[in-house]
Structure 1
Amino acid sequence: MMTVTLNLDCSVCGHHRFRLPIKQEEGSRVICANCSAYKCQVQDLEKALIAVGRSRHRTAVSAA
């Protein structure tokens, strides 16, 4: 697992650091690094980050 700070809040404790699995045997669950509460699946997080990136790109292109 890798611990990272995300612009998300844990719904249980409000923490901003999460554990991301990096090996297949670790599963695909993103969990809070503070209280170990389940946040989401890695695939869902990837989709959300891609959508945010695309939105920011469109905003930057529109402003240019």
Structure 2
Amino acid sequence: MITVTLDLTCSICGHQQFHLPIKAEEGANVCCANCSAFKCKALDLERALTAMRRSSDNRQPAAA
């Protein structure tokens, strides 16, 4: 597991740091680093972050 700060908030304790699995044997759950509450699945988080990145890239003005 790796602990990271995300632009998310735990709905239980309000913490913004989460444990992300980095090995298959660690499972796929993203959990709060403070209270261990389940937040989401790692693949769902990756998809959401990728979609957010794409939408922000589309809003950038084109370089001249």
Does TM, normalized by the shorter one, top 0.5? yes
Q: Which residue of 2 aligns with 1:16?
A: 16
**Residue 37 of structure 1 pairs with residue 37 of structure 2:** yes
**Identity of paired residues, percent?**
60
Residue-pair matches, total: 62
Once the two structures are superposed, residues 17-37 of structure 1 have per-residue CA deviations (whole angstroms, 9 ceiling, x without a partner) of 000001111000000000000
Gaps of 5+ in 2: none
- Letter of the structure 1 residue corresponding to residue 15 of structure 2: H
1 CA distance for matches of 2:58 and 2:22?
30
| Residue 56 (structure 1) shift | 0.7
Of Structure 1 and Structure 2, the greater helix share is in 1
**Residue 6 of structure 1 pairs with residue 6 of structure 2:** yes
Q: TM-score if structure 1 supplies the norm length?
A: 0.94
Q: Which runs of 4+ in 1 moved over 2 A?
A: none
Q: CA RMSD in A?
A: 0.6
